[in-house]
Structure 1
């Protein structure tokens, strides 16, 4: 009986579960993973809510934001309209596609660059804004000193400016 107790204590004793700990090396603990997902989803929802909680400054800002939201739905709806047009009036669609076929290749490259830069720049700007906000929120929650109040960082930046970097 003593030997079995020692074996059971070795496997499950002193607050540890050797089998569970060994299994977690090969497979993620489902409960812990679910808890991490919930925390991540809550943070994403909080961030999403905070983005729309901030009031816009004026009519111009609201108008520009509205215009910035038009190209993607416009492209999607325009593409669907072309499909519908092709089914409803194939001759009309063929005439439009002949016109597109006459567009020179450099103009297609230019269009690709413009669209790529528009969406790429917007994606980068929104991503950097999101990261800045998340880092600021995390530093506030953890009690870290914000960068603008960090004396050591300010001194280091001043030395870099003085050294001509």
Structure 2
């Protein structure tokens, strides 16, 4: 990514922390939570790796191909999972956006510094994720406390934390798309 190194490091920290939390969510007793958390952890760590400022580290060209392959496989998995849960359609769009960013950054002559102008697909993805962030933020506000003892729910079973995790990844995705 290009731009100020400080904002790149903030993105790295946000995405890595989100990835770690999603790994913790994989310990949930609810199977659907575990599956979703695995995909979200991959997305968080992948976004953290992509957000490392180019001033600090410029990865070799093959890295972008590896990102495209990994997130292409994640997109296929999300497509398959979307037949049982519409939430996976968002995972499909997120994985496809990561493939797109990897291909653009890998084909850039400046090794990941992006290009001038805003291609239509970048704009469309930025609009999608902006809408997702606004909707996720609106859904986060009215989350009611779970019935019974709120301390009884494990870290992986707290819906407000899972929503905050998704919100932060959406914000990071918007920032990364705008930085391209």
Do the two structures share a fold, i.e. TM-score over 0.5?
A: no
Q: Which has the larger radius of gyration?
A: 1
Structure number with the bigger relative contact order (C-alpha 8 A, sep ≥ 6) is 2
**TM-score calculated relative to the size of structure 1:** 0.32
**TM-score normalized by the length of structure 2:** 0.30
Higher relative helix content: 1
